[in-house]
Amino acid sequence: MMSFPSTENRVFHLNVGQASINLARDRLWQVKRGKGLIRILIDGVVQGEMPVPENGWFVVPESKHLTVQLAAITKLAFESRLPLALVPRLGDLGRQELIKPIRQLLKVSEVNDDLIDWAVKLAQPTFKAWFGESLDRAISARQPMSPDIATPLIVDQTPRTISEHETIVPKERVLAVLLMVGLLSIAGVMSWFGALVALESEAFLLSLEYPFVVGGFLLWIALLLGCIQRLSSHFKNVLPVGLGVGFLTLILLLMIQSWIHALSVIMIFLLISVTYWIYIYRLLPDLPSIDEPMRWLKMRINRDGVPSVRERTLNAWREATHWVIAQIELVAEYSRFSRAIMAGSLVIPAEAITHLERPIVLSGLSLAALILIERLRVMMPVGFDDRPIIPALKQGQPLRVGGSVQYEQIVYRRHAGDKPLFNQLSFHCSDDSLVRISAAEGAGLSTLKYLLIRQISPERGMVSIGGMDVARLDPGILALSIIMLDHPADGSAMTVGDWLFIEPEIQASTLDRHLRALSCHHWIEGLNNRLNSPMGALQMLAGPHGMNRLKLARALSRQGRILWLDHWLLGLDISCREHVINSLLARSGIRFVVDRDSFLKGRASVHWEISHD
């Protein structure tokens, strides 16, 4: 039996003969004790009933047409356990136990789900949005549920690295396409063989029909190649499968015509394959990664500071240069050797043209086989894209700086010769502090923030995090690791999904909770393409106040040890403001909050009042 962590502790009870009005949608429910019936209603009309599954778990989808009631046969105790958005995170065994209850519910609802692979669908992050929309479409149109509907809501997923408009192609469809590609390749090779036979015929020069036959075969081959090329733009592995099937067909034809020529072509293919395996699979992966010396250098600079950086840079650069040259030379050597093999293989069709019986057929087949080998050789990857990326250095993922923060004897002037904005400013706060900052306009709050993230440098003094001078840290890394309303990568976010999930560590469930608490989720759900919509559409719909709430939800969802909030009250009502304050109180790390209205007075652990000298 499944055992899931409960997100809600409230247990509901029904006496014998009682029924619930309507169970909350978009939830995974569990009957703890007793026996009962699950009643299915479509558009308010009872469609049928089903017994509560033996394991007690059942799903109530987010549907406009379908509602679920629970009727008690004996005394019942039941509770709501998880939102459907969290179902993909359950283990394989847990998801497997949900398949039977879901299929029973659909059977009672008279919805055909034969096209659905539930084991796959339940594991996909888009399950909740797909389930509700596909079910509603199936009920309203009286048709089977479609596996291809994918309209993600904010609670369902982070943005994909591939285009959001792509749909997941069923395995059966992919296999059918690859099978069709194989048949097209065989047809193309046989057409080429027919053209060679017609060209070699003694009647080729005596009858006008034979040239037309050869021309027809060539046009047919061009059409087949165009079809394969078109399919390759929509499905993966089409070209390798087509080339492989075509090569095998040519080898079989060569075997029938002349086994010596067939063996010669096979030897060329094996020789190139062995060369590829030795150079690319055995030798190339053993070389160190190109960025390893630079990563080591950055680590040493961050730890030890700026002094002696020139010598370390030169040493790391020399080491990286040797590794880069070694990789380039290895790939170049493989390319030279394999091209030399291909050049030498041209002797096979040259020798076949001197054959006494079938010179044109043998030379044409062997030449076509060598062309396919060359195409396969060019398609073989020789790059480094498959190397694992170290998560700590993944783009967009912040460095986890943290610890106490100290401004020590800071002297800063906006312009040379001006009176110092800060003169011998000192401040210290320990880790896990909620710092309430109060100051008048123009007192330099933005300057304090920019000093912390090293966007500006003080004339004298030092700002440190965890005892480390921020001058030793990269400003870009600091801007990513210190959480603010704006994000350094905001300008590169094209879609709403890219902007909301601007960091890979943002959890969809956490973000959804803050969006709903701040009453700003409806702007996203109101967009036609939701996460796929451009940022301009969201900005026009939400306006400045709405965008501020969305930025707050995103900032509270980001993971980090230091947070700085200013201008956070824009557009917040009392409930939203309380949610932000409670989230700040529950959060770990240092939280700097500009609070001129004294909302945090009495709740903050440190008060920092900035006076304008």
Residue 5: inside a domain: no
Residue-level pLDDT at 123: 78
Report how far apart, in Å, the C-alpha atoms of 455 and of each of 397, 421, 600 are: 19, 16, 28
Give the separation between CA 557 and CA 234, rounded to whole angstroms: 36
Residue 21 lies in domain: 11-141
Q: Taking Cα atoms as reference points, which of 444, 446, 441 lies closest to residue 422?
A: 444
Residue-level pLDDT at 252: 92
Q: Taking Cα atoms as reference points, which of 185, 175, 192 lies closest to residue 248?
A: 185
Residue 146: inside a domain: no
Q: Taking Cα atoms as reference points, which of 569, 151, 288, 570 lies closest to residue 584?
A: 569
Q: Torsion angle of alpha carbons 424, 429, 434, 435, nearest 10°? A: -10
Looking at 98, 125, 141, which one is the last position of a domain? 141
Taking the chain (613 residues) in consecutive chunks of 10 residues, what is each chunk's mean pLDDT? Answer: 45 83 80 87 86 85 86 86 78 78 86 82 80 85 73 40 40 78 89 85 72 85 86 80 89 88 89 85 67 53 48 62 69 82 86 82 86 85 48 44 87 79 88 86 81 85 87 79 86 84 83 87 81 82 86 89 85 87 88 85 85 61
Can you give the CATH number for the domain in which 468 is found? 3.40.50.300
Residue 296: inside a domain: yes
Residue-level pLDDT at 6: 39
Structure tokens at 64: 């406009």
Residue 245: inside a domain: yes
- Among left, alpha and beta (phi > 0; psi -120 to 50; other), residue 463 is beta
Can you give the CATH number for the domain in which 100 is found? 2.60.120
- For tokens 């070389």, name the residue: 287
Write a three-state SS string for 96-116. HHHHHHHHHHHHHCCCCCCCC
Give the separation between CA 511 and CA 587, rounded to whole angstroms: 14
Residue 328: inside a domain: yes
Residue-level pLDDT at 52: 87
Residue 320: inside a domain: yes
Give the separation between CA 582 and CA 369, rounded to whole angstroms: 70
Same domain for 500 and 358, yes or no, is no
Residue 521: inside a domain: yes
Looking at 99, 126, 141, which one is the last position of a domain? 141
Cα torsion angle, 71, 76, 77, 82, sign: negative
- CA 470, 475, 480: angle at the middle one, nearest 5? 105
Give the separation between CA 48 and CA 35, rounded to whole angstroms: 17
* Residue type at 43 in one-letter notation: D
Orientation of helix 209-232 relative to helix 171-200, angle to 10°: 160
Same domain for 570 and 474, yes or no, is yes
Q: Please tell me the total count of domains within the chain.
A: 3
Residue-level pLDDT at 398: 46
Residue 397: inside a domain: no
Residue-level pLDDT at 294: 54
Same domain for 238 and 342, yes or no, is yes
